[in-house]
A and B are shown apart, each in its own frame.
Chain A
Amino acid sequence: MSEVTTRLDVEPADEPPIEEDPGTPAPSAPRNWTAVKLVGLLLAIVLLFALPFFVNTYVLFVANLTLVYAIATLGFNILVGWSGQIGLAHAALFAIGAYGSTIGVEYGVPFLATMPLVGIGAALIAVLIGFPAIRLTGFFLAIATLAFGFVIVETLTAANDLTGGGGGMIVEVWTLPGITSSASTYFLTAVVAVVAFLVARHALHGRFGRTLQAVRQLGTLVGSLGVSALRYRLFAFAISGAIAAVAGALYAQLQTFIFPAMFDLNLLVPFLVMVFVGGAGSLFGPIIGAAFAVVLVEVFQDLGDLQAIAYGLALMIAIAVLPGGLVSLGAELRNSRLVGRFGRQRSASKRLVRRGQ
């Protein structure tokens, strides 16, 4: 387990404080800070791919599950955190990915080809879900998308011939020649996670992410800037749906057996937890949130009912103590009087001087 924690510890450390509030425009970071970030990121990636060589199957499974959830949460965060729309069909779109890829493989499509296919399919479905729901806001949007999500899961249950109904279906696991199936699933997940993360980082720190934030905060007012709010809202739905489906395909590979009840509220609530506990609208939030949720579940696994109690309490404490999610932990500690007094509390001006501003 310690390897997992180390790996995850590396990533939040890379994060410059300027990323904590996506609402404010980030001042340009000095060059040496960027270099530190780059080295840290490369180190994290190397650690990520070296993991299967020095941990046992159980730790590998936990790490793999964390990565799958992190990918799915990354997509959810684009919709919920960056574009500010509470769309609750995410678990169902995740299910479409899992079922779509498994059924595709059964009909002879190579697994690697099913991943982009389910991504495109889920993006289209997400737009269909988002299009009528896009006129609604807040709780109304939440209930509407939740309804579509339930319909999708019920349809999967009803389509007995294709999906095996409520009894579920066995997943044919894709394996690289020469290594175990769990290691190949892990490598594939890690590649997808790194690509998804880097693409999201590029997109969200660029024009796309800023426009999404503008749409979230200004709504249709962005029309006066020549930006279609509707188009960007649907974009967010499509992208988050596509990412959810790709993560779902990987999830099926990891679980090797899928059934519709895996994808109902029991999955949606953890997704929400991962986004908000990690930190909605931040780039590293999904990774930290996913690690938090998975580790919590695994740690309390043997406790039966106590597991759910601990999960609920941990969620409550995280939200009560850290409104900005776990990504804001560093800033909260630095700003708190207790730690700040003992720690290296510097005046604001000195801190700015040190950053070279």
Chain B
Amino acid sequence: MLQSILSGLEAGSWYSLLGLAIVVVMKAADVPNFAMAEIGLFATYIGATLAEEGVSFWVAVLVTLVAGVIAAVAIDIAVMRRLAGRGHFPLLLMTIGLSLALNALIGRIWGQQARRFDAPWSGSFLGIGGVDISWSQIVTIVLGLVGAIAITAFFRSSIGAQMRAVAEDRATARLMGVNVRRVSGIAWGIGGAIAAVAVMLQAQSTLVSTHSASSLIIYGFVAATMGGFVSLIGTFVGGLALGIIQALAGLYISTRIEFAVALLAVVLVLLARPSGFTAGLRLRDV
């Protein structure tokens, strides 16, 4: 039970972080990015390959983060910012196309074989009160929390305010002297880095592959939905709740339907307390 909740919190932290990456890009660049998990996977594979070649762990981590930032900013500059203001669903489809292409590209470079990115603490445990807790879980949960706090703090800074302004009204923000392109690039860079962290954390405790990326993105989107695509706190809590519900559904019902149960629970939450969960959620008037 406790073990399930812990692993639920761990998985929930991945979902939260990926959801936060999606929300950051959504807030500042107004793009629902379905290719976020692939960006993270691409960066993680680069780091894992370096680590396998004997590069020291922390250098590999640094390279992974930089790769995530570069990949995301490159996508923004090459494709997405040219299509700004197209509306959410065309852009969503655009990123779905991007995720298909990136996923296949990653499969072509590294193959379909699942990989790990082991940290020095992977596989070691901390015994508290008769329960063994793996260090990967602790690191993931703590990093998830730190990441959420850091992003929230960032949005209160000057650039964060500019981002909110751009998301609110692109044209007016521009008139007020906000460099929209720079802001959008920064948001994509941050999103790419967070996505790289999310997939890296997943890879230090379990196997990741092009398949795991395509399911991870759904969880990330669900977490972002729980936060109404605007609330960082809502996204973070939503992702953690998703992870715990999923773990408990896997424990008490069946691991095969844990995904469906988790999604249904989300729907029930959305229906039962639409405005209570986060302020960003809007009801349609009927």
Footprint of B on A, CB under 8 Å? 86, 132-141, 143-144, 146-148, 150-151, 154, 157-158, 219-220, 229-230, 265, 269, 272-273, 276, 305-309, 311-316, 319-320, 323
Instruction: Judge whether A319 and B94 touch: CB under 8 Å.
Output: yes
Q: Which of B14-54 contact A (CB under 8 A)?
A: 32
Tell me, yes or no, whether B259 is within 8 Å of chain A by CB.
Answer: yes
Instruction: Judge whether A146 and B263 touch: CB under 8 Å.
Output: yes
User: Bound complex: CA of A316 vs CA of B285, how far in Å?
Assistant: 34
Instruction: Judge whether B105 and A157 touch: CB under 8 Å.
Output: no
User: Bound complex: CA of A237 vs CA of B165, how far in Å?
Assistant: 37
Instruction: Judge whether A158 and B257 touch: CB under 8 Å.
Output: yes
**Inter-chain contacts of A146 with B (CB < 8 A):** 218, 263
User: Which of the residues A135, A229, A308, A320 comes within 8 Å of B101, measured between beta carbons?
Assistant: A308
Using CB atoms, name the residue of chain B closest to A220. Answer: B285
- On whether A309 and B286 interact (CB within 8 A), knowing A147-B267, A319-B93, the answer reads no
User: Bound complex: CA of A114 vs CA of B66, how far in Å?
Assistant: 57
Instruction: Judge whether B283 and A315 touch: CB under 8 Å.
Output: no
Q: Which of B61-109 contact A (CB under 8 A)?
A: 79, 82-83, 86, 88-90, 93-94, 96-105, 107-108
Using CB atoms, name the residue of chain B closest to A152. Answer: B260
Instruction: Judge whether B260 and A220 touch: CB under 8 Å.
Output: no
Q: How many residues of B contact A (CB 8 A)?
A: 48
**Inter-chain contacts of B90 with A (CB < 8 A):** 276, 319, 323
Instruction: Judge whether A150 and B89 touch: CB under 8 Å.
Output: no
Using CB atoms, name the residue of chain B closest to A273. Answer: B93
- On whether A265 and B214 interact (CB within 8 A), knowing A139-B229, A143-B221, A308-B103, the answer reads yes
**Inter-chain contacts of A144 with B (CB < 8 A):** 266-267, 270-271
Instruction: Judge whether B270 and A140 touch: CB under 8 Å.
Output: yes
User: Which of the residues A133, A137, A157, A309 comes within 8 Å of B108, measured between beta carbons?
Assistant: A309
Using CB atoms, name the residue of chain B closest to A230. Answer: B286
User: Which of the residues A219, A272, A315 comes within 8 Å of B285, measured between beta carbons?
Assistant: A219
User: Which of the residues B94, B225, B270, B283 comes within 8 Å of A320, measured between beta carbons?
Assistant: B94
**Inter-chain contacts of A319 with B (CB < 8 A):** 83, 90, 93-94, 97
State how many angstroms separate the Cβ of A270 from the closest Cβ of chain B: 10
Other 14 A-B pairs with CB < 8 A, given A144-B270, A273-B97, A308-B103: A135-B271, A139-B225, A139-B229, A140-B228, A140-B274, A143-B266, A273-B93, A273-B96, A305-B107, A305-B108, A312-B104, A315-B97, A316-B98, A320-B82
20 contacts between A and B (CB under 8 A): A135-B283, A137-B283, A140-B274, A140-B282, A144-B270, A147-B260, A147-B264, A151-B263, A158-B257, A269-B100, A273-B96, A305-B104, A305-B105, A305-B108, A309-B104, A312-B97, A312-B100, A312-B103, A316-B101, A319-B90
Using CB atoms, name the residue of chain B closest to A221. Answer: B285
**Inter-chain contacts of B224 with A (CB < 8 A):** 139
Instruction: Judge whether B270 and A136 touch: CB under 8 Å.
Output: yes
User: Bound complex: CA of A95 vs CA of B94, how far in Å?
Assistant: 26
User: Bound complex: CA of A314 vs CA of B102, how far in Å?
Assistant: 13
**Inter-chain contacts of A320 with B (CB < 8 A):** 79, 82-83, 94
Tell me, yes or no, whether B248 is within 8 Å of chain A by CB.
Answer: no
**Inter-chain contacts of B260 with A (CB < 8 A):** 147, 150-151, 154
Using CB atoms, name the residue of chain B closest to A137. Answer: B284
User: Bound complex: CA of A265 vs CA of B93, how far in Å?
Assistant: 13
**Inter-chain contacts of A315 with B (CB < 8 A):** 93-94, 96-97, 100
User: Bound complex: CA of A136 vs CA of B257, how far in Å?
Assistant: 24
Smallest CB-CB A-B distances: 7 pairs: A312-B101, A315-B97, A147-B263, A308-B104, A312-B100, A137-B284, A316-B97
User: Bound complex: CA of A311 vs CA of B104, how far in Å?
Assistant: 10
Interface centre among B88, B105, B260, B274 (most CB of A within 10 A): B260
User: Bound complex: CA of A313 vs CA of B103, how far in Å?
Assistant: 12
Q: Mark B238-267, 1 if CB is under 8 A from A, else 0.
A: 000000000000000010110110011011
Tell me, yes or no, whether B222 is within 8 Å of chain A by CB.
Answer: yes
User: Which of the residues B32, B83, B96, B286 comes within 8 Å of A269, measured between beta carbons?
Assistant: B96
Instruction: Judge whether A150 and B32 touch: CB under 8 Å.
Output: no
Instruction: Judge whether A150 and B101 touch: CB under 8 Å.
Output: no
User: Bound complex: CA of A102 vs CA of B83, how far in Å?
Assistant: 44
**Inter-chain contacts of A134 with B (CB < 8 A):** 284, 286
Using CB atoms, name the residue of chain A closest to B95. Answer: A316
State how many angstroms separate the Cβ of B110 from the closest Cβ of chain A: 11
